[in-house]
């Protein structure tokens, strides 16, 4: 079970308040993801083994398999940055031991050009 500390998230990723308040449907979707252990494990596998950014896997899953009608239009910058911050917080502070690396995504529907995947730090 993942414990999401919104207050600490907001302190760590300043400027994400607008994502939580103005993009509440997307923020809620992310919080629902945190409760879906099966999907999270698949996203983590895609990240850890295949170097596929978690955001990419999440968007493709939501668009093609969930039946939700999301991620079909251009997203404002604060939503894109908010998702990046959420996945960054998840990997760097909740899972721990990860560093981010940029990857080309270029999703034409959402307008997201890059997304991070996360590599385990060398010991």
Residues in the chain: 123
Nearest of 115, 119, 86, 89 to residue 102 by alpha carbon: 115
The pLDDT of residue 67 is 83
**69 band by pLDDT with thresholds 50, 70 and 90:** confident
**Rounded to whole angstroms, how far apart are CA atoms 71 and 59?**
7
C-beta neighbour count of 117 within 10 angstroms: 23
Q: What is the pLDDT of residues 23-52, one digit of tens each?
A: 999 999 999 999 999 999 999 999 999 999
């Amino acid at each position: 079970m993942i414990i999401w500390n919104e207050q600490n998230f907001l302190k760590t990723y300043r400027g994400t308040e607008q994502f939580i308040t103005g993009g509440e449907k997307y923020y809620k979707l992310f919080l629902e993801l945190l409760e879906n252990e099966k999907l999270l494990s698949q996203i983590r596998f895609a990240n850890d083994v295949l170097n596929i950014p978690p955001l990419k896997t999440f968007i493709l899953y939501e668009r093609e398999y969930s039946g939700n009608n999301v991620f079909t239009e251009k997203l404002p910058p604060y939503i894109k940055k908010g998702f990046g911050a959420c996945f960054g917080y998840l990997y760097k502070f909740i899972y721990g031991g990860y560093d981010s690396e940029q990857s080309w995504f270029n999703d034409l529907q959402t307008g997201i050009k890059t997304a991070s995947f996360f590599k385990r730090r060398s010991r």
